[in-house]
């Protein structure tokens, strides 16, 4: 089965609410859709979105990378899958968002070719997941209101974005903690906003107020692996590495140093499905569990992450896949269903994507 063409285009997706973290503020994003056609008529869909502050991949750089890789992949046989993936990753360094989008489309084709849903093709069974809901970093009263709305929507696990002044963050979390009922669990993501010392002060302060959180994600600068290690050695809190870990090699470095208790895998950070599976397998060797997350992106790429979660359900135990639930529109027909707070995989072959509406093909 030969790759005949690779098309890509844009859909502008407005968010229901402005999304704010310590790193970025967004009211919309550009979904970059990839469509690979083959000589036997099978069509594979992939997707990514720019995330300047996290991946460093802009809309322009993603489109340039797709343009660069397109002639390298066209004319190749899908059956040479390992060679294809190696080519994809070795032809250009970094630029993992574009690589993730292409990998997703290639895996979609590969699974359709054997008439299996992608998760089953990858060896998965689990079909239903409950996602966390992210609470944006805002004034306390706005965060409390968002918490109430998330609970009303049925979310039982909230990931609270902090990472501003840590003393103010304690007050934000205290107000949220006083709002939730006992069925709700809280997680904190500081998105690199604190120093290691701030982080210790924060954890001591919330412990003093009897505020319970499941984990503290990426409190320090992404290059400060020693800072993560400092925290892990001095607290009993579960420390999660997110922006510090892009590649499988990063995962090995963090795990060898015992600098994190959990790893947050994202397809756009690592470069796609094959790398995400590698990272989950590396974590299993070190007996470390994973979360699977996303940037602000659409239902194809976040759906693909859910398929990965299914195939490594022993390692990947937390699902931070709420991005499509923040979107005002879902241009994707078919595929994974995002019905807040639930994510449900279908039995359709591949990703099950039938069409994407409103794409401005380039």
**Interacting residues with Mg ion (CB under 5 A):** 189, 217, 242
Residue 238 per-residue DSSP state = P
Distance of closest approach, residue 55 Cβ to Mg ion, in angstroms = 12
Identify the active-site residue in 35, 159, 232, 266.
Answer: 266
Nearer to Mg ion, 8 or 202 (CB): 202
Q: Are 294 and 307 in contact (CB under 8 A)?
A: no
Phi-psi region of 109 (alpha: psi -120 to 50; beta: other; left: phi over 0): alpha
Q: Which is nearer to Mg ion, 189 or 250 (CB)?
A: 189
Give the DSSP H or E segment for 343: strand 342-344
Q: Of 20, 110, 161, 269, which one is the catalytic site residue?
A: 161
Which tokens is 90 given?
A: 């070795």
Q: 216 has which bridge partners?
A: 188, 239
Structure tokens at 184: 């709700």
Smallest gap from Cβ 134 to Mg ion, in A, equals: 9
Using CB positions, name the residue nearest to Mg ion. Answer: 242
Q: Is the dihedral of CA 47, 36, 274, 351 positive or negative?
A: positive
Q: Which is nearer to Mg ion, 103 or 189 (CB)?
A: 189
Q: What's the distance, CA 199 to chain centroid?
A: 24
Rg (CA), the chain: 20
CA–CA separation, 183 and 245 (whole Å): 31
Decide if 21 contacts 326 (C-beta within 8 A): no
The minimum distance between CB 193 and Mg ion, in angstroms, equals 11
Q: How far is the CB of 217 from Mg ion (least distance, A)?
A: 5
Distance between CA atoms of residues 26 and 192, nearest Å? 18
CB of 293: closest distance to Mg ion in angstroms? 6
7: tokens are 């098309």
Q: Among residues 242 and 348, whose Cβ is nearest to Mg ion?
A: 242
Closest approach of Mg ion to the CB of residue 243, in Å: 7
User: Is 4 tagged catalytic?
Assistant: no
118 in Cβ contact with 305 (< 8 Å): no
Nearer to Mg ion, 189 or 322 (CB): 189
Instruction: Classify strands 25-38 and 43-48 as parallel, antiparallel or unpaired.
Output: antiparallel
Catalytic (active site) residue 249: no
- The answer to whether 95 and 88 are in contact (CB under 8 A) is no
The nearest distance, CB 218 to Mg ion, in angstroms, is 5
- Local structure of 28: helix, strand or coil: strand
Nearer to Mg ion, 108 or 217 (CB): 217
Structure-derived torsion over alpha carbons of residues 233, 24, 297, 291, reported in degrees to the nearest 10: 10
Q: Please, which residues have CB within 8 angstroms of residue 127's CB and are 6 or more apart in sequence?
A: 119, 310, 344, 345
Considering the complex, state which of residue 119 and residue 202 has its C-beta at the smaller distance from Mg ion.
Answer: 202
Catalytic center residues: 161, 266
């Amino acid at each position: 089965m030969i790759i005949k063409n690779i098309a890509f285009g844009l859909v502008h997706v407005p968010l229901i609410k402005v999304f704010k973290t310590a790193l970025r503020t967004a009211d919309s994003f550009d979904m970059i859709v990839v469509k690979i056609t083959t000589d036997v008529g099978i069509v594979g869909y992939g997707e990514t979105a720019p995330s300047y502050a996290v991946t460093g991949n802009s809309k322009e750089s993603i489109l340039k990378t797709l343009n660069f890789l397109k002639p390298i992949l066209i004319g190749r046989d899908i059956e040479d899958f390992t060679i294809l993936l190696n080519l994809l990753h070795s032809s250009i360094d970094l630029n993992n968002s574009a690589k993730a989008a292409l990998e997703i489309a290639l895996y979609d084709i590969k699974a359709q070719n054997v008439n299996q849903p992608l998760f089953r093709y990858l060896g998965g069974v689990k079909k239903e997941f409950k996602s966390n809901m992210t609470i944006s970093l805002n004034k306390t009263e706005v965060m409390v209101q968002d918490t109430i709305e998330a609970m009303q929507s049925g979310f039982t696990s909230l990931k609270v974005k902090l990472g501003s002044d840590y003393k103010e963050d304690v007050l934000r979390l205290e107000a949220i903690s006083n709002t939730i009922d006992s069925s709700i669990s809280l997680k904190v993501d500081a998105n690199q906003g604190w120093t290691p010392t701030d982080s210790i002060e924060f954890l001591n302060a919330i412990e003093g107020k009897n505020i319970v959180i499941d984990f503290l994600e990426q409190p320090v600068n992404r290059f400060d692996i020693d800072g993560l290690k400092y925290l892990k050695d001095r607290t009993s809190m579960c420390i999660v590495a997110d922006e510090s870990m892009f590649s499988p090699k990063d995962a090995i470095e963090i795990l060898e140093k015992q600098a994190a208790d959990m790893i947050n895998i994202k397809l756009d950070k690592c470069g796609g499905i094959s790398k995400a599976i590698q990272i989950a397998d590396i974590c299993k060797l070190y007996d470390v569990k994973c979360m699977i997350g996303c940037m602000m992106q659409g239902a194809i790429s976040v759906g693909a992450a859910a398929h990965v979660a299914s195939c490594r359900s022993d390692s990947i135990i937390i699902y931070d896949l709420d991005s499509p639930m923040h979107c005002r529109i879902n241009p994707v027909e078919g595929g994974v269903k995002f019905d807040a707070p639930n994510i449900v995989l279908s039995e359709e072959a591949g990703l099950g994507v039938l069409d994407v509406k409103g794409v401005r093909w380039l």
